[in-house]
Amino acid sequence: MASIKDVAKEAGVAVATVSRVMNNRGYISKETRKKVEKAMDALDYHPNQIARALQKNQSFFIGIIVPDSNHPFFSDLIKYVEMSANEKNYKLLICNSLDDPKKEANYISMLRQNQVDGIIMCSHTMNIESYKKVPFPIVSFDRFISSNIPCVGSDNYRGGELATEHLIQLGCKRLLHISGPLDLDILANRRRDAFVITSMKHGVTYDIIEGAHNKLTFDYFWSFVTENISPAQLREYDGVFCSNDIVAYALYIYAEQQGIRVPEQLKIIGYDYHSFTRMLQSPKLTTIMQPSDRIGVMLTNTLLQMIESADGELINNTTVDVTLIKGETT
Amino acid sequence: MASIKDVAKEAGVAVATVSRVMNNRGYISKETRKKVEKAMDALDYHPNQIARALQKNQSFFIGIIVPDSNHPFFSDLIKYVEMSANEKNYKLLICNSLDDPKKEANYISMLRQNQVDGIIMCSHTMNIESYKKVPFPIVSFDRFISSNIPCVGSDNYRGGELATEHLIQLGCKRLLHISGPLDLDILANRRRDAFVITSMKHGVTYDIIEGAHNKLTFDYFWSFVTENISPAQLREYDGVFCSNDIVAYALYIYAEQQGIRVPEQLKIIGYDYHSFTRMLQSPKLTTIMQPSDRIGVMLTNTLLQMIESADGELINNTTVDVTLIKGETT
């Protein structure tokens, strides 16, 4: 089997240069890269990265734990995490926790046993102490865990504020917010906080219905909406801020079925603007966009910075801007 | 650091039993499993699976290469592959080829260097010879590569037949098929073959418009539909079979914009019934369901069977049944 020395000889470069090409580090001219890649091809050279990982104590594996990789927001996010990790030669292991604390703990243990260099944590059912025990870098999506675990998220407070102000500016006087589950201490709950503060500031009447844990399918949210809000109750409101786009869509269909005209009688605004919402044409939902591309890249970059900073420097939390997308439901 | 022997001692079982629990193999009673897991927790035991992989020449990593992990069909599939792999202690590495042959080749090389035990190949832009050179098990989704590479897919021919017969039974006389790209030798093209044969059999006039490579967004298919089919041309047909649900949805919106009533004047049927279609309420698309759950589990099981069969026994191709889902567009 060919060795790195054979490749260097074949390409007419130094062994260190071959190593730089393979690890995608430092400056390498296009021609040199081509020469090295050609030599690797010619010699059918496939270095054993697992052996290297063991030797160097760095695997170039990162893990991502999500509640459900099939949910349009997380599948957006995974794509951008994978692509930005791949640019820097890191490989992504994906894990579906299904919001089950036991599964989540098992995945963390599995990732640890497989010597991942770090984890992106998007599932948040375990208690905070369990994360603190993990002996390698973690970046958290949308949840403050501890000062050693940087957090990346959209500006949930600003999102809630934008959504509520939008409804009030359009003349809504009796607002409803359908929140996510508030028992988990996650940053998404700030959407609710902003809804309350903004409603109070403008002297607008409001109610909140707390969502259960996300099963994240239309059928789940359809049952949730129809079981928790009677048609008579829905008629009492003129504006609803939904904590995600699927529940906003379910509410829209429910309102239409009840003969409540959207947006004339009832204005609806969602949150996410993920691939489902981008594809949906009737109605085009008014919503708050969390930019999954920027969040995905930021999660990866923050994690790699932690992995590669030898001195364990302090890394900041990142809040990514949100934007109001005006559709046809307000 | 604790060793496997310490765990066995703490749990009061044999080392082989601890090993069986860790590898999820053979029969282990619930109590024994609990005892071992408790001992592992108590001793904070995290065996280095990378070292084991190197020693045993088996990594328990599998790779999946998809065109776009964010497309609703592939994100469905990835979820079921990941969950069924995890049940058997295999970890899933995901790779987005974006239908770029160079990226696809790089991912195969990367997976090879990382000693994966096998690959599930859902991206098909490379030529067949390149796959044949890969020295470990591959399972292909929807493409015959060679007799050593089993293929799992839905019954594309039956799907095309069901769709076309459905339109004809409803009285359609002038059919259109919007196919996928036909230059790639993939099984999805059989949908087109069945469309042609079924139309001929019933003496029905038909046309085919060939799709380009999937960019897989609504905007892409919207441009495709509006640029390739004039309103006058669309009025010539009374039934359209679309090769995927996103293009069917784009065509539906286009027809409505042109004042063509669906299904009265024009019947539309799609293909996939993935998470987007399942969530979409207006219209509920008539479509052919490829069961991504069964396909995902089958891809995993076929690959693991190849990995674990020492004697390289021949493994068959699998064709998963499809079903007509009657919606409101026919």
Residues A204-244: pLDDT tens digits?
999 999 987 667 788 999 999 999 999 999 999 999 999 99
User: How many residue pairs from chains A and B have C-beta atoms closer than 8 A?
Assistant: 121
3-state helix, strand, coil in chain A (%, to 5): 45, 15, 40
Whole-angstrom distance, CA of residue B217 vs CA of residue A219: 24
pLDDT given at position B312 = 62
Residue of A nearest to B253 (CA): A281
The pairing of beta strand A91-96 with beta strand A118-121: unpaired
Buried b (16+ CB within 10 A) or exposed e, B279-317: bbbebebbbbbbbbeebbbbbbbbbbebbeeeeeeebee
- Percent of chain B surpassing pLDDT 70: 98
Whole-angstrom distance, CA of residue A2 vs CA of residue B247: 48
User: What does the pLDDT average to over B254-273?
Assistant: 97
Cβ-defined contact of B276 to A279 (cutoff 8 Å): yes
ipTM: 0.87
In a domain, B328, yes or no: no
| A268 and A172 part of one domain | yes
In a domain, B330, yes or no: no
CA angle A306, A308, A313 (to 5 degrees): 50
Segments forming the whole domain that contains residue A20: 4-47
User: What does the pLDDT average to over B162-190?
Assistant: 92
Residue of B nearest to A50 (CA): B114
Cβ-defined contact of A49 to B253 (cutoff 8 Å): no
Which of B3, B37, B50 to mutate to probe the A interface, most A CBs <10 Å? Answer: B50
| B226 and B245 part of one domain | yes
> Taken in order A218, A221, A222, A223, is the CA torsion positive or negative?
positive
Whole-angstrom distance, CA of residue A230 vs CA of residue A220: 17
Q: Which residues of A touch B (CB under 8 A)?
A: 46-51, 53-54, 59, 61, 68-70, 72, 75-76, 78-79, 82-83, 86, 91-96, 109-110, 112-115, 217-218, 246, 249, 253, 275-276, 278-282
In a domain, A30, yes or no: yes
| B118 and B171 part of one domain | no
Residue of B nearest to A62 (CA): B93
List CB contacts (< 8 A) between B113 and chain A.
Answer: 46-49
Q: Is A63 in contact with A33 (CB distance < 8 Å)?
A: no
CA angle B3, B4, B7 (to 5 degrees): 95
Collapse the DSSP code of A154 into the 3-class scheme (helix H, G, I; strand E, B; otherwise coil) and give the result.
strand
pLDDT band at B96 (very low <50, low <70, confident <90, very high): very high
pLDDT given at position A310 = 65
Residue A287 or residue B189, greater confidence = A287
Cβ-defined contact of A70 to B51 (cutoff 8 Å): no
CATH number at residue A193: 3.40.50.2300
pLDDT given at position A198 = 97
Alpha carbons within 13 angstroms on the beta-carbon side of residue B314 total: 4
In a domain, A329, yes or no: no
Q: Is the pLDDT of residue B136 over 70?
A: yes
In a domain, A220, yes or no: yes
Q: Which of B191, B186, B182 is nearest to B143 (CA)?
A: B186
Collapse the DSSP code of A61 into the 3-class scheme (helix H, G, I; strand E, B; otherwise coil) and give the result.
strand
CATH number at residue B14: 1.10.260.40
| A25 and A63 part of one domain | no
- Mind telling me how many Å the CA of A211 is from chain B's nearest CA? 19
Of A92, A96, A114, the CB nearest to B49: A114
In a domain, B105, yes or no: yes
State the greatest distance between any 2 C-alpha atoms of chain A, in Å, as a whole number: 80
User: How many Å is the Cα radius of gyration of chain B?
Assistant: 24
| A108 and A191 part of one domain | no
Which residues on adjacent β-strands are paired with residue A325? A287
In a domain, B325, yes or no: no
In a domain, A83, yes or no: yes
Low-confidence ranges of chain A (pLDDT < 70): 1, 213-214, 310-314
pLDDT given at position B214 = 60
Cβ-defined contact of A75 to B82 (cutoff 8 Å): no
Collapse the DSSP code of B64 into the 3-class scheme (helix H, G, I; strand E, B; otherwise coil) and give the result.
strand
Q: Is the pLDDT of residue B126 over 80?
A: no
Letter for the amino acid at B245?
A: D
Starting at the edge strand found earlier in the chain, the sheet holding A118-121 runs: A318-320, A151-154, A138-141, A118-121, A61-66, A91-96, B91-96, B61-66, B118-121, B138-141, B151-154, B318-320
| A119 and A182 part of one domain | no
- Mind telling me how many Å the CA of A205 is from chain B's nearest CA? 31
| B181 and B233 part of one domain | yes
| A276 and A174 part of one domain | yes
- Mind telling me how many Å the CA of A75 is from chain B's nearest CA? 5
| B23 and B105 part of one domain | no
| B190 and B287 part of one domain | yes
| A301 and A275 part of one domain | no
Query: What is the per-residue pLDDT across B34-48, written as a single tens digit (0 to 9) for each?
Result: 998 899 888 888 888
| A110 and A215 part of one domain | no
Whole-angstrom distance, CA of residue B280 vs CA of residue B290: 17
Number of domains in chain B: 3
